[in-house]
Structure 1
Amino acid sequence: MPRTSAIAAVGVHLPERVRTTDETEARLRRENPRAGLPVGLIRRMTGVERVHEREPGEQASDLAAHAARRALAASPEPVDLLVFASASQDLIEPATSHIVADSLGLDVPVFDVKNACNSVLNAVQVAHGLIASGQARRVLVASGETPTSAVRWQVADRHQFVRSFPGYTMSDAGAALVLEATEDDGRGVVDLAFSAASHHWRIGTLPTGGSMRPRDLDATYFDIDGRALQRAFLALGPDLVTGLLDRAGLTMEDLDLVLMHQVAQPHLAPIAERLGVAEGRIHETVVRHGNLASATLPVQLHQAQEAGLVGPGSTVLLVGLAGGISLGAAVVVL
C-alpha cells in the first residue's frame, strides 16, 4: 500500500473578464442613487483592485472542467475518482461532479465535497485518505466557483450594503489538483489538521436552494457580517497550525511558502499573526484576483510554481479559512 498521496499536477482557470473595484463602486452608485454609498470604501477596506467574472452562460462545472483539462494535460495518466469541491454548484441534484465528469468524458466514480472556502482543502483530505488506504490511486479534485452570481447590486439601505459588502470582492474561478499514490520518496502530503467553531454559522450565509428558504428571492444574495467573521477567525488561535508543524517536526523557518485563504488584504497580517504564520512567507493573491473562495489555494500554488517560488522538494503549508466557521491546514512536500 502507498504511504501517502502527492500532488501530481495543478490546473487553474481565471476568467479573462474582470470587473475593477472602481467599476463595482460606480455600478453600486448608479443603481442606488439615493443610498448615499461612500466612494472608495471597498478598495480602502479590502485592498482588492479587481475580480474575475465568468462568461455569460458558464456554470461552476465549466470553470472546473477548464481547470481540470489543464491539470490532466500536465499529468495525463488515467484517474480513478473525480471529486468536485466547491462552495458553488450547478444544481442541487445531481452532484455537480457528474456534470464535470461528463464534460471531461470521464467514466469514473464521482462525488461532491462542500465546505464553503475550505471545500478544496477538505477534498484533498478525503482524496489523501482514500489513496493512503488503497481505495484510489489517482484522484482529480476539481473546483468551480461562481460567487459573482450572488452579489447584491440593489441595496435597500446602508445596513444591507454592509451585509452585502464581502460579496463585492469575490471572484469566479476554476481550479484542479491531481493527487496520486506515491511511495516513501520524500514527497507528498505530510499531514493535515482541521477544526471548526460551528456556533458561528450565522455570521455568513447564502441561503438559496436550501430547505430554510427554498423559494425566497432575497435568499439568493450573500448576507455576511464581515467584521464578525474576522473576529471569529482571530479567536481561533495558533494551536491547529503550530500543532500540525510540531507533529511534522517542522518550524516556520522550514517552510518554503505559505498558501492561505484571503478575504481582504488588511486582514492578512492580523490573521496570520494570530494563527502563528509568518506573513512574509504568504503568497498574496487577493489584491489582483479578489476572494477566490475554495479555488484560492490551488491558484496560489499554481502561481507560485509558475513564478519559480516553489518546485520539486519544496515544503508548503496550506491554510484554509471558511465560513461556518472552519480552519484547515496541510503540510505538503512538492
Structure 2
Amino acid sequence: MPLTSAIAAVGTHLPPRIRTTEETERRLREGNPGVELPVGLIRRMTGVDRVHEREEGEQASDLAVLAARQAIEASPEPVDLLIFSSASQDLIEPATAHIVSAKLGLGVPVFDVKNACNSVLNAVQVAHGLIVSGQARRVLVASGETPTSAVRWQVADRHQFVRSFPGYTMSDAGAALILEASDVSAERGIVDLAFSAASHHWSIGTLPMGGSMRPRDPDATYFDIDGRALQRAFMALGPELVTGLLERNGIALADLDLVLMHQVAEPHLGPIADRLGLGVEMILPTVAQHGNLASATLPVQLRQALDRGLVGEGSLVLLVGLAGGISLGAAAVRL
C-alpha cells in the first residue's frame, strides 16, 4: 500500500517558571533609568501576559528531552531516526541532535533541521519525505527553544529598546512529535504540505551570535528585530500557499476542525489569518498565556487541543508556520 506519515505521539514541556509582562517591564525600567519606557507598552502592543523561562543551567537539549520522553512514553515502539529541530541549539558543533540522543539513550542516526520558527514544521516535512520514500519508519522530531537567553536587558536608548522589543515576549519550551509510517488507506496522517520563502527579508530579524558575520561580538548575542517590518512582510505573502494546499486536496475551510498557527503577537493574529484566507475564530490562541514559543508553538498548540478535547482521532487540522527569514509553511493533517 502507498505510505504516508502519521503523528503517533505529541510531547511538550513548558517550564513552570513564569515571568509576567509586568515583571519584564519593571526589570527594564529599573535597569535602564535613563531610558523612558512607557508602562504597559509591551502588553498593549503584543497582548502577551507572561512567558516561560527555563531553569538556570537548563539547555535546549534538556527541554527537547523532557518533551521527547513524554512522546516516547505515549508511543514506546523504537524510532529509527532523531531530528532536532529548533531555532535554538546547545552548541554550534556538534549537532544538538547528538546531545538529545545521548540523553535519551538512543542509538539511531541523527541530524538537525533549523529554520527559525518553522524548524519543527520543516522537520516534519523531512521526516514525512523519508517515511514515504521508505528510508525511515518512525521518526522522533524534538525541539528545545531557549530564546530568553537572547533578551537584551540593558538598552542604550529608545531605538535599541524598539529593536529588542519582540524578544521580551519569547518563551522557552520543549516539544516533540513521533511520526510513523501509515497506509494511506488508514485515513490518518499528513494529507499534504506546502512551503514558500521571501528570503530578501532575511535582515528584518536576526540573532547574529556565533555566525561567521560576527563570531565574537558580545553585542551580537541579542535579538535585533524590526517588528513592524516583520508583520508587513508576513502580510505581503498572500493566501495562495494556504488556499492552494486546501483546494488541491478538496478541503473546504468548513472541513477543518482546527487551525494551529504560529503566533508572535495577539493583535497580529487576526490580520494575518485573514490575509492567509483563514478566519481567526478557527485558530487556537496561545500567545497571551505562553508568549512566542518559537518552533515549539505548533506542537504545544496540538497537545493543548488534544488535552482539551478540541480535536481527536479523525480530526482534520491545518498547521500554519510563520518564520523569520521569512518563511511560510502549511500542513494538513488527519489525526
TM-score interval w.r.t. the shorter chain?
over 0.9
Task: Specify the code of the residue in structure 1 equivalent to 2:283.
Answer: I
Q: How does 1:37-56 map to 2 (within 5 A)?
A: 37-56=37-56
Task: Specify the code of the residue in structure 2 equivalent to 1:5.
Answer: S
Task: Specify the code of the residue in structure 1 equivalent to 2:161.
Answer: F
SS in structure 1 opposite 2:82? strand
Q: Distance in 1 between matches of 2:43 and 2:241?
A: 31
SS in structure 2 opposite 1:298? helix
Give yes or no for contact 1:2–1:181 (8 Å, CA) kept in 2.
Answer: no
Stretches of structure 2 lacking an aligned partner (at least 5 in a row): none
Q: Distance in 2 between matches of 1:247 and 1:224?
A: 35
Tell me the residue number matched to 2:163. Answer: 163
Q: C-alpha displacement at 1:290, in angstroms?
A: 0.1
Q: Deviations over 1:114-146 (max 9, x none)?
A: 000000000000000000000000000000000
Q: Distance in 1 between matches of 2:59 and 2:39?
A: 32
SS in structure 2 opposite 1:70? helix
Q: How does 1:170-319 map to 2 (within 5 A)?
A: 170-184=170-184, 185-319=186-320
Q: C-alpha displacement at 1:270, in angstroms?
A: 0.2
Query: CA, structure 1 residues 2+73, in 2 after alignment: closer, same or farther (shift >3 Å)?
Result: farther
Q: Distance in 2 between matches of 1:125 and 1:285?
A: 24
Stretches of structure 1 lacking an aligned partner (at least 5 in a row): none
TM-score computed with the length of structure 2 as normaliser: 0.99
Q: Distance in 2 between matches of 1:48 and 1:243?
A: 32
Tell me the residue number matched to 2:130. Answer: 130
Task: Specify the code of the residue in structure 1 equivalent to 2:273.
Answer: A
Tell me the residue number matched to 1:24. Answer: 24
Q: Distance in 2 between matches of 1:166 and 1:263?
A: 8
Q: Deviations over 1:35-93 (max 9, x none)?
A: 01111000000000000000000000000000000000000000000000000000000
SS in structure 1 opposite 2:99? helix
Give yes or no for contact 1:172–1:292 (8 Å, CA) kept in 2.
Answer: yes
Give yes or no for contact 1:152–1:164 (8 Å, CA) kept in 2.
Answer: yes
Task: Specify the code of the residue in structure 2 equivalent to 1:61.
Answer: S
Give yes or no for contact 1:2–1:131 (8 Å, CA) kept in 2.
Answer: no
Q: 2:13 matched to 1:13?
A: yes
Q: Distance in 1 between matches of 2:168 and 2:298?
A: 20
Task: Specify the code of the residue in structure 1 equivalent to 2:329.
Answer: G
Q: What stretches of structure 1 move > 4 A for 4+ residues in a row?
A: none
Q: Distance in 1 between matches of 2:138 and 2:278?
A: 31
Give yes or no for contact 1:97–1:110 (8 Å, CA) kept in 2.
Answer: yes
Q: Distance in 2 between matches of 1:327 and 1:209?
A: 25
Q: 2:84 matched to 1:81?
A: no
Q: Size of the alignment, in residue pairs?
A: 334
Q: Distance in 2 between matches of 1:257 and 1:92?
A: 37
Task: Specify the code of the residue in structure 1 equivalent to 2:305.
Answer: A
Give yes or no for contact 1:192–1:244 (8 Å, CA) kept in 2.
Answer: yes
Q: Deviations over 1:308-328 (max 9, x none)?
A: 000000000000000000000
Q: Distance in 2 between matches of 1:156 and 1:277?
A: 40
Tell me the residue number matched to 2:62. Answer: 62
Q: Distance in 2 between matches of 1:326 and 1:255?
A: 23
Q: C-alpha displacement at 1:2, in angstroms?
A: 4.5
Q: C-alpha displacement at 1:3, in angstroms?
A: 1.6
Q: Deviations over 1:225-279 (max 9, x none)?
A: 0000000000000000000001111011100000000000000000000011111
Q: C-alpha displacement at 1:286, in angstroms?
A: 0.1
Q: Distance in 2 between matches of 1:140 and 1:277?
A: 30
Q: Distance in 2 between matches of 1:100 and 1:285?
A: 27
Q: Distance in 1 between matches of 2:72 and 2:198?
A: 36
SS in structure 2 opposite 1:83? strand
